[in-house]
Amino acid sequence: MRQFMRVCAPVCLVACIGVQTAAQGTEPLPAAFEAVSIKPRVGESVLRGGPSSPDRFDDPDTTLWFLIRWAYELFDFELVGGPDWLDVKRWQISAKSPAPVSLAGKRQLVRRMIEDRFGLKTHTETRELPIYNLVLARSDRQLGPKITPSSVDCTPFLTGKRPMAESPRDPDNGMPACSSGGAIAGGVLTPRLNGQPLAAGLIRTLEAALQRRVVDKTNLTGNYDIELSYVDEALFGKGVGTGDGPSLFTALQEQLGMKLESARGPVNVLVIDSVSEPTIN
């Protein structure tokens, strides 16, 4: 069984996945990076890099499994196949684009780099897999205390179509009301999602935490402000910090008035057909 890799806590993922970066294909994109260096990474693990300046991609310590997930914007459960070394061997990668590109454009360039240097060939499939349905916990459809309708549509700010500096301000702390993030304390995660529809914010956060497709069955529309505090045992280890917070399943019901029901359903996955170790330079 493939090693279960969780690169960062769901609270870290919020800023990345809440609403994805502006649509691809709206900018001139170079055919490929103009220079790429790939070397084996040896020694102790270091913090991963990733997108740096607009014309560079630097990751000093990555596996190809993680790199594919980043480039294709996938969770672990959405990527299937490949040799065992995919999430074991570590690489040091540095690449330069001939022109500045957006985050979405950089993902495309990394895809091309992987295809060229690692010989990656893939196809997509729809498979019947375990999923969760997100439903309202109460028959009267009353929501919990930690979710409220938002008066602000944060989509333009979260996608980068408008700068976050122009976001309305939170009157309590002066921070941009549309910023997303959260906190980690004592093993308790507290993601904060502002001004987003459930599918863009909460659903993706739950999928990151549970590593399973989550389907919205609440029939709720509009944008919401959400704050959810729970203990992620899979991330911190069972029994670490668990005395200070509820499980995710309990938190959903008590704080948001929702619950998860196990089911099976179609899930789109990317299947790795072939891949090889790169030539080193």
pLDDT number for residue 2:
44
Query: Burial of 95 by CB count in 10 Å (0-12 exposed, 13-18 middle, 19+ buried)?
Result: buried
List, in sequence order, every residue forming a beta bridge with 129; answer none if it has no partner.
265
Digit-coded pLDDT (tens) for 5-14: 443 444 444 4
For β-strands 188-196 and 230-231, DSSP reports them as antiparallel
Q: For residue 127, what pLDDT is reported?
A: 97
pLDDT score of 59 more than 80: yes
Q: pTM for the whole thing?
A: 0.79
Give the N- to C-terminal CA distance of the chain in Å, as an integer.
31
Q: What is the pLDDT of residues 101-146, one digit of tens each?
A: 988 899 999 999 999 999 999 999 999 999 999 999 999 999 999 9
Q: For the chain, what percent of residues have pLDDT higher than 90?
A: 53
Task: Round to whole Å and give the CA distance between 146 and 24.
Answer: 33
pLDDT the model gives residue 24: 41
Mean pLDDT for 157-170 is: 83
Backbone angles phi, psi at 38, to 5 degrees: -130, 125
Question: Is 80 exceeded by the pLDDT of residue 44?
Answer: no
The most confident of the ranges 67-71, 200-204, 245-249 is 67-71
Please, what sign has the CA dihedral across residues 5, 92, 110, 11? positive
